[in-house]
Amino acid sequence: MMTTEYTSQEMMIFSNRLEVPRAAYQRRFRAKRARLIAEFFDERLANPLKVSFRDGRYRVFDGQHTMAARIMLNGGKHLPIKCIVYMGLTEQDEAALFAQQAGFSAPLTAGEYLRAQICAKEYESVAFQDVCNALDLQLDFDQKRGEFRIGCIKTAFEAYRRIGEEQFMEAMRILIAAWNGDPDSLCAANVSAITHFVELYHGEYDPHRLASKLSHVDPLTIYHEGQIAGASLRGYKKYLYQIYCIYNGSSKTNKLPLKF
């Protein structure tokens, strides 16, 4: 959502004056993509760069790979590039426009999109990040992997939106208690399985029992066993069933009913 009034005009700007705000909301530069654009570049189809003029600087919020391709085709030397320059945008506006870009741009990954939405101060995205921070979990926008890092951003965010803050935090605390932030424990299969389990059996199961049971199995067990069961169960249910079986074990007194 645009928060300010703005004006725009088409301009030719030397590429050495154009900045790419990767630290804030832009995606990582991919040299392979720039080379591919350069290989098939056609001036008749090329879109102008979209640029925000803010604080005396030109910031590219759409078209960084096209800019790099043009420089490649010019022998690595800077050159004038056609831009649509917007005046009056805030960084929040730029991030929102970046997240909404379409046309010939490569689709954003879930992490790239969410990071842009957070920079744009989109309420639900910011709230999701705040919840993860409260759990001492980092959103792994660039897929670097590591302890206490959520790489399956799309799965986690969809779960948060589906079951709400309280149950999402309950589910993630169980994963953390069971495996202490092990990177494998925060894979999409586990996040999907535990959030569906908490949603389905909320108020009926013992969170401490579940965390204890999970701590005695390898964090990739749910994924591997779910793949084996894939023929009889579909989608998230093949992973949910593994949580269900781990929780029940051989117990008769604490056994939960099968609801799915």
Radius of gyration of the chain (CA): 23
Percentage of residues in the chain with pLDDT exceeding 70? 95
Residue whose C-alpha is closest to residue 247's, from 219, 207, 192, 218: 207
E strand map for 134-260: 138-139, 149-150
Looking at residues 228-233, what average pLDDT do you find? 74
Evaluate if residue 233 carries a pLDDT over 50. yes
> What pTM, to 2 d.p., does this model score?
0.67
Return the amino acid letter for 56: G
**Beta strand pairing status for 7-14 and 18-19?**
unpaired
Calculate the average pLDDT of the chain.
89
What are the pLDDT digits (tens) for 20-74? 887 777 777 888 888 888 888 888 778 899 999 999 999 998 888 999 999 999 9
Residue 104: which pLDDT band, with cuts at 50, 70 and 90? very low
Q: Write out pLDDT tens, residues 108-142.
A: 788 888 888 898 888 999 999 999 999 999 999 87
